[in-house]
Amino acid sequence: MSSKKPARSIASRVVRAWTLRTVFALIDMDLALLVLAQMGELQVRAWPGIAILAGVELLTLFMVRRSARKKAGRLVEPLERMARTAQEITSAEFDPERLKQLEDAISGVAPQNPHAHIATGDKGLKGLESAINDLLTRMNESYQERSRFVSDASHELRTPISVIQGYADMLQRWGKKDEKVLDEGISAIQSEAAHMKKLVEQLLFLARGDSGRTALNIEDVEACALMREVYEESRMIYPGRDWHLDAAPPVPARGDADMLKQAVRILTDNAVKYTREGDRISLRARIKDGCPCLEVQDNGIGIKPEDVPHIFERFFRSDPARSRASGGTGLGLSIAKWIVDRHGGHFEVYSREDIGTKIAIVLSPAPKAAEEENGKEE
């Protein structure tokens, strides 16, 4: 019994000393060795095995500490480079004449000129010139896009206003006496007013979106249920088309359900505009390459190949006369693209003239679906 007690005592001391290893990792190694020496817990001379074990433990702690120092050094290195660069910039001496030359070159730039750029001929300023020219190019592209948008919006608003004014003049002259002219004028004014209201609402939607004032309510969405809702609505609003639905759950997605529904409605409205009475329009929800996919397909007139890259541009119309007659504003697909872009998704467009068009909204995979997909791959 007496021989077992010292062994138990020493073993318990070893266990207590072992639990101190997390403390040793946080203090200086020399202090750790001093603490071990003063504790007298490990009788090294009497227990060589325990001494070896303690040595291995200390060596491990030393290696961990050394690795941590290297990792900390790698993390701090970018900050040190930034500090050195800032110091170099602060201590650098700039030639006032060269700065004046660069200032004059910038002052002489006309922002409205699409080919505006600066060129001082100074090799030392070449990098700065390149950065400024890139900025000028982006500014010019933004300016041209804004100008084109304002011009197109003005044109779109001018048309209904002109029609309303024309019918108002006609009513003033003959509408009081001719009931037929009165009915025709009122009907036309109502139609153009509704078109103008729709156009203004879409312009406001895009303006709020571009300025970051449109917030999305992101939540879990079942794509099949969403497509079924659009399918039921479309059957009721456009009974003259042959509607089909292919949506077998589950097709989980993540996004703003109302916004996504609006994007799909835009696709179905377009499908109706470019198909004839009795033509088939199919709605489909499925998982494609791990991503939720919402598709609208028709067998209408199709899109010209050269027009496909432009269909999401604001106010673009493949057939302006047909679009205007059907009540289109040229902004629907632009709004759909804004919605899909904010969801981190993209469009896939397949179209052949006189055969039909299929437009698919491909969203990012829902978190749960992505985890399950990764689990299958493992």
Query: What is the rounded average pLDDT of the residues 41-57?
Result: 55
- pLDDT interval class at 358 (50, 70, 90): very high
Which phi and psi angles does 98 have, rounded to 5°?
Answer: -65, -40
Query: What is the rounded average pLDDT of the residues 79-96?
Result: 70
Identify the burial level of 250 via C-beta atoms within 10 angstroms of its C-beta, where 0-12 means exposed, 13-18 middle and 19 or more buried: middle
What the block records as the tokens of 236 is 């009721």
pLDDT for position 3:
47
pLDDT for position 50:
56
What the block records as the tokens of 306 is 């050269």
pLDDT for position 14:
46
| 283 vs 291: CA distance, rounded Å | 17
Query: What is the rounded average pLDDT of the residues 254-262?
Result: 95
Does residue 212 or residue 90 have the better pLDDT?
212
Out of 121-130, 210-219, 255-264, 308-317, pick the least confident.
121-130
Helix ranges restricted to H, the chain: 4-19, 21-24, 29-39, 48-91, 96-107, 126-170, 179-210, 223-237, 257-273, 320-325, 332-342, 367-377
pLDDT for position 111:
62
pLDDT for position 303:
93
pLDDT for position 54:
61
Identify the burial level of 24 via C-beta atoms within 10 angstroms of its C-beta, where 0-12 means exposed, 13-18 middle and 19 or more buried: buried
Out of 112-121, 160-169, 363-372, pick the least confident.
363-372
pLDDT for position 323:
55
Out of 33-37, 216-220, 342-346, pick the least confident.
33-37
pLDDT for position 56:
64
State whether residue 45 is helix, strand or coil. Answer: coil
pLDDT for position 95:
67
| 288 vs 347: CA distance, rounded Å | 13
pLDDT for position 11:
45
Residue 267 has pLDDT above 60, yes or no: yes
CATH 1.10.287.130 fits 126-210, yes or no: yes
Query: How many C-beta atoms surround the C-beta of residue 256 within 10 A?
Result: 19
**Element (DSSP H or E) covering residue 246:** strand 242-247
Which phi and psi angles does 360 have, rounded to 5°?
Answer: -115, 135
Which phi and psi angles does 20 have, rounded to 5°?
Answer: -80, 0
Task: Answer whether 222's CB lies under 8 Å from 190's CB.
Answer: no
Q: Please compute, for residue 268, the number of CA atoms within 13 A of its CA located in the half-sphere on the CB side.
A: 29
Does residue 230 or residue 96 have the better pLDDT?
230
In one letter, which amino acid is 55?
A: G
Identify the burial level of 1 via C-beta atoms within 10 angstroms of its C-beta, where 0-12 means exposed, 13-18 middle and 19 or more buried: exposed
pLDDT for position 350:
96
Q: 126-210 and 219-372 share one CATH topology?
A: no
Q: Domain ranges in the chain? A: 4-89, 126-210, 219-372
What percentage of residues in the chain have a pLDDT greater than 70? Answer: 72
What is 219-372's CATH number? 3.30.565.10
pLDDT for position 326:
59
DSSP annotation of 174 = I
- pLDDT interval class at 19 (50, 70, 90): very low
Does residue 214 or residue 12 have the better pLDDT?
214
| 230 vs 262: CA distance, rounded Å | 9
Residue 103 has pLDDT above 80, yes or no: no
pLDDT for position 357:
96
| 31 vs 25: CA distance, rounded Å | 11
| 366 vs 371: CA distance, rounded Å | 9
**What is the rounded average pLDDT for all residues in the chain?**
78
